[in-house]
Amino acid sequence: MNGTLGGVPRDQLKAREFLFLAEDLALRALPPAVPAPSRRVMWTILQLSWGDPASHIELQPQPSRGIVELGLHFEGPAEANDARAALVAAHAGPLMAALGPAWELEVWTPSWRRLHRTFAFDILTRRLAETVAAEMARAIPLLYPFCLPVPQPALSLSAAEATLGP
């Protein structure tokens, strides 16, 4: 039993604590072949990019909605976003098999696109951060190739095939 401190569970994390813990755990678990990303933090939104900040992997705990979102986001001009999303869709078979059924590719706004999943929660905890970090570490090798200035889905397909195994 975790107990409470002043009515707040001891293992409850604030959104920024959760964000930084999940980031640290995920980045430490990445294979050495994955290049280090550029990092942008906007309060409780973490964006990791590999050359084009408009194409990034985003992590965002949303306590007011009771979800943590993890996803590949395309937030540039509509034409570029559509081209990147079409490239993801063209490789959806092995990607979705490796990522799992919780992930979905969607038109998010009139110009933005994303491939994402959510995690529901009542409170942000270290255990949830570990779960999200593990999923993030598994997803980054599959998704970062779509964030490169010239997307390289072949890298992603190699990672997906390695994830799926023989």
Does residue 34 contact residue 9 with C-beta atoms inside 8 Å?
A: no
Asked if residue 159 has pLDDT above 70, the reply is no
According to the model, what pLDDT value does residue 78 have? 87
Asked if residue 14 has pLDDT above 60, the reply is yes
According to the model, what pLDDT value does residue 110 have? 60
Q: Which residues contact 75 (CB under 8 A, 6 or more apart)?
A: 54, 55, 56, 81, 112
According to the model, what pLDDT value does residue 81 have? 86
For the question of whether the overall pTM of this predicted structure is more than 0.85, the answer is yes
Q: Residues 29-52: pLDDT tens digits? A: 999 999 999 999 999 999 999 999
Question: Per-residue pLDDT averaged across 73-92, rounded?
Answer: 88
User: What is the C-alpha R_g of the chain?
Assistant: 16
Residue 91 or residue 23, greater confidence: 23
Domains of the chain are 8-164 (3.30.1460)
Q: Residues 89-140: pLDDT tens digits? A: 888 888 999 999 999 887 665 676 789 999 999 999 999 999 999 999 999 9
The contacts found for 147-151 with CB under 8 angstroms, 24 or more apart, are 147/49, 147/50, 147/51, 147/52, 147/55, 147/56, 147/57, 147/72, 148/50, 148/51, 148/52, 149/51, 149/52, 151/55, 151/84, 151/87
Asked if residue 26 has pLDDT above 80, the reply is yes
Q: If you average pLDDT over every residue of the chain, what do you get?
A: 87
